[in-house]
Amino acid sequence: MAAAIGMLFFVFLADCVHAQMPDWILINDRDGNRYWMDPNGKIYCSGEPEAAYRPVSSGSIDYSYNQGVSLIKNHYKIEGLLILKSLMALSADSGRVIDVQRKASKEINALIRREGDRYEALNAQASILMFRERDAVTLVNDRMRYSLRCNGNIAVVKRTSRRHSKYEYQGLLLGVNFTSAAGMARNEARGYDALIAVDAERFARPFMVIGELERNWKNNLGADSFERTLFENGDSSKIYGFEDASTPGYSGFEGLYMNGVRGYCARIITTKDVMKKRRDEILGLLKGIRIY
């Protein structure tokens, strides 16, 4: 018992010394990450879950890789897998990015081998990937097969999912700020310029026409007080503008998309004041949703 207590004390003491080495540097990068670096350039991460769904970027890939690996080692497998998969989604536009992606792929493959049949469930939960390139953030849902891109910042406010038999649903509520390179923490402090709700479904059979999907969503959502104007009407998509009659009031756009057995409803809503200033950006964000 005494030996065990002594060992615990030694580990605790080592951790305390770890965080206070005088020649180590505390790094706060532009993505809001905070970590220590020793004189040899080795990175020391918390290995604990921090801000959920924080986008990775080429400027912080070394931290992100080390944090992802540390999370998996500390049994936060979903959180670590999210980071490693997000790194894999970055554009391979430099040798440094390619090198980190090679190492991330190796870690993911090792996790697949260790988890065996359990990996599918982990991968399904680690499906919301986010990465920043220049001043734009891209969100990819690699399970429900869509992506969207915002020239500013995106924060995941809420995620819901359910699955049974041949049906699957995933819903995301996102906060959007049309700013360049501001930290997510700052965005959360001052609120969002707009909210996006993306509902994705996988059905047992495909819809034949977009009108069939639209009727399905009207039944799901029920009646509302918005006045709608049809902007686009295609074979596999529809986009409406909408607003309410109240003051100051809200307005936005909503899009319906279908691809085989998958159907999507995306709605972006903001104040009428923001809509006047950012209309083209808001419409462009909705038009920029990619289904694959």
Q: Tell me, what DSSP letter sits at residue 74?
A: T
B/e letters for 118-151, b = 16+ CB within 10 Å, e = fewer, are ebeebbeebbbbbbbeeebbbbbbbbbbbbbbbb
Beta bridge partners of 141: 128, 146
Token pair 């409803």 is at which residue?
A: 265
Residue 41 domain flag: yes
Mean pLDDT is lowest, of 7-16, 20-29, 42-51, 276-285, for: 7-16
Does residue 15 have a pLDDT over 80?
no
Does residue 34 have a pLDDT over 80?
no
- Counted residue by residue, the chain has a size of 292
The pLDDT score that the predictor gives to residue 38 is: 75
Share above pLDDT 90 across residues of the chain, in percent, rounded to a whole number: 67
Tell me the mean pLDDT in the region 21-31.
72
Query: How many whole angstroms separate alpha carbon 254 and alpha carbon 273?
Result: 18
Residue 108 domain flag: yes
The pLDDT score that the predictor gives to residue 179 is: 78
The pLDDT score that the predictor gives to residue 125 is: 94
Taking only Cα atoms into account, the Rg of the chain, rounded to an integer number of angstroms, comes to: 22
Q: What is the pLDDT of residues 91-105, one digit of tens each?
A: 999 999 999 999 999
Residue 180 domain flag: yes
Token pair 């004390």 is at which residue?
A: 9
Does residue 282 have a pLDDT over 80?
yes
pLDDT band at 22 (very low <50, low <70, confident <90, very high): low
Residue 129 domain flag: no
Same domain, 110 and 196: no
Token pair 């969100």 is at which residue?
A: 139
Residue 206: asked if its preceding bond is cis (omega within 30°), the reply is no
Tell me the mean pLDDT in the region 196-202.
97
Mean pLDDT is lowest, of 10-14, 154-158, 265-269, for: 10-14
Same domain, 70 and 141: no
Q: What is the pLDDT of residues 81-135, one digit of tens each?
A: 999 999 999 999 999 999 999 999 999 999 999 999 999 999 999 999 999 998 8
User: Do 124 and 141 form a contact (C-beta atoms < 8 A)?
Assistant: no
Q: What is the CATH number of the domain that holds 248?
A: 3.40.1000.10
The pLDDT score that the predictor gives to residue 119 is: 97
Same domain, 114 and 144: no
Tell me the mean pLDDT in the region 132-143.
94
Does residue 31 have a pLDDT over 80?
no
Domain edge (last residue) among 60, 87, 120: 120
User: Do 239 and 252 form a contact (C-beta atoms < 8 A)?
Assistant: no
Same domain, 141 and 281: yes
Residues spanned by the domain of 166 = 134-291
Same domain, 106 and 205: no
Domain count, the chain: 2
pLDDT band at 252 (very low <50, low <70, confident <90, very high): very high
